[in-house]
Every structure is written in C-alpha cells, then in structure tokens.
Amino acid sequence: MKYLIIATLSALLLFAEESFITEGEYGQMLYENPRGIGCVHCHGKRGEGALIARYKDNGEQKELRAPGIREIPLAKLKSSLLKRHRVMPTYFLTDKEIRAIFYYLHMGGEE
Ligand code: HEC
C-alpha cells in the first residue's frame, strides 16, 4: 500500500512538472534539442549567431557563420525551417514547436 501511494505521488509530480513548463522553457528545450542537431550548436546560445568554422579556400582565409536569428519574423523562421539548406540540416518541426522556438528567441533577457 505504501508503495502504491509513493508511486501515485511520483506520477503526479512528474505530470505536474510536465504541464507547468512555460512556453519559453519549451522553446528553449526545442532550440537545444529539436530531434536533430540543436540550433544552439550553430546559432549560439540564444540565436545571436555564431562562428561555425574557419577554413582556407585557395589560400584565402574564410569563415562559415550561422546568422543571428533573434529578430527573424515567424513567417521567415517557418519557411527557413522547411527549406533545404547547404549547411543547416532539415528539421521536421510542427507549427506549435516552431512557435515555441520563436517565442524563446524573442523573449527579452534571461528567464
Ligand atoms: C549545422 C549548423 C546549423 C544548425 C544545427 C542549425 N542551423 Fe540554422 N543556419 C545555419 C547556417 C549556416 C545558415 C545560413 C546559411 C543557410 O541558409 O544555410 C542558417 C540559416 C538559418 C535561418 C535563416 C536565417 C536568415 O536570416 O535567412 C534560420 C531562421 C535558421 N537557420 C534557424 C535555425 C533553427 C531554428 C535551428 C534549429 C531547429 C537551426 N537553424 C539549426 C546553420 C545551422
């Protein structure tokens, strides 16, 4: 009986934890782990853009950068995630997930 109560309580706690994450936390989770390589690895901690690699091309020093995406409008974020890129992978995110990432990128300051 005691174990049953403990099991029920922990199930309730788990449930509570899942339903009480904010839209921003959900967006951050997806930004860091979007079923594929995290956006965070290329676009920086919060979409500010980052240097991916430096390389030489015909003796010329070049840089590969992921652009800043914090100011990007929702429509552009969506279309960009649906199209094929040269460097960036293709993702299979739902509208709701893209909106959460958008929300996270546009939230001011730290949460
Ligand atoms: C492997 C590195 C890499 C990862 C991972 C990655 N990106 Fe990108 N992304 C790029 C590069 C490089 C570009 C610019 C060149 C291009 O379009 O391929 C870009 C372009 C974009 C653009 C278009 C920006 C503009 O101004 O046109 C958006 C929006 C974007 N990424 C969002 C995301 C999101 C959201 C994720 C995660 C779901 C993500 N990216 C993951 C490298 C990456």
Both structure tokens of 107: 């939230």
Range of the domain at 86: 22-106
53: helix, coil or strand? strand
Asked if residue 87 is part of any domain, the answer here is yes
- Whether residue 65 lies inside any domain: the answer is yes
User: Is 14 inside any structural domain?
Assistant: no
- The CA 71 to ligand 1 mean position distance, Å, reads 13
- Give the separation between CA 18 and CA 2, rounded to whole angstroms: 25
The total number of structural domains in the chain stands at 1
CATH code (residue 89): 1.10.760
Question: Of the given ranges (7-11, 12-16, 95-99), which has the lowest mean pLDDT?
Answer: 12-16
Ligand 1: which of 55, 88, 99, 102 to mutate, most ligand atoms within 8 Å of CB? 88
Q: Is the C-beta atom of 50 inside 6 A of ligand 1?
A: no
For the stretch 26-81, pLDDT in tens is 999 999 999 999 999 999 999 999 999 999 999 999 999 999 999 999 999 999 99
